[in-house]
Amino acid sequence: MSQILKEHAFQTGQVIQLAQGDITAEPVDAIVNAANQYLQHGAGVAGAIVRRGGPSIQAESSQWVRQHGLVSHAQPACTHAGNLPCRYVIHAVGPMWGEGDEDEKLASAIRGSLHLADQLGLNSIALPALSTGIFGFPKHQAARIILSTVQDYLVSAPDTPLKLIRLVLFDLATVQAFIEIWDQDDHLAA
């Protein structure tokens, strides 16, 4: 499991955590995959998920695309988790830096992932720093958007079954960016 670096509990009992570690090892109900719209999981977080979870994740992803078409920012896909310690993988498509309207697309991908977890009745979810790897989204800007979107979602959905939202970050530069933004946020740092 990851090392928990920061934690904030809301009055509703919901918890946001900032952690450093490997998202494929998270014992939560679902992890979020940084996917492309075709659900071809070759590199980065997506590649790691399929390598650890097994070929059934790619097979189910390919079947999802055949049935539903390409995945949008606002409506992620969901597959079972194969050999991973979670039950589901939510495949969210974050924006590529430079494609336009990146902030809203990133917020939409996070909201869509949380909404899908709600629809599935899940209690816990782990999210990566969506779009900050090969998609090139600036880490500090992504941290600000992801943290504020998660908080806004929890405030707007106090009856959500989601009780734990863990942001799992892999590399030190991303961890530092998220900690800086966390510490600047009056609601989280309090």
pLDDT digits (tens, 9 = 90+) for 168-190: 999 999 999 999 999 998 878 76
d(CA 56, CA 22): 20
d(CA 123, CA 91): 18
d(CA 73, CA 188): 26
Residue 125 · residue 114 · CB < 8 Å = yes
Residue 87 · residue 80 · CB < 8 Å = yes
pLDDT digits (tens, 9 = 90+) for 51-104: 999 999 999 999 999 999 999 999 999 999 999 999 999 999 999 999 999 999
pTM comes to 0.95
Of 45, 30, 56, nearest to 115 (Cα)? 30
CATH number attached to the domain at 28-189 = 3.40.220.10
pLDDT digits (tens, 9 = 90+) for 104-156: 999 999 999 999 999 999 999 999 999 998 899 999 999 999 999 999 999 89
Q: What's the mean pLDDT when you consider all of the chain? A: 94
Whether residue 25 is predicted with pLDDT greater than 80 in this model: the reply is: yes
pLDDT bin (cut points 50, 70, 90) of residue 11 is: confident
Cα dist from 186 to 5, 37, 153, whole Å: 17, 35, 17
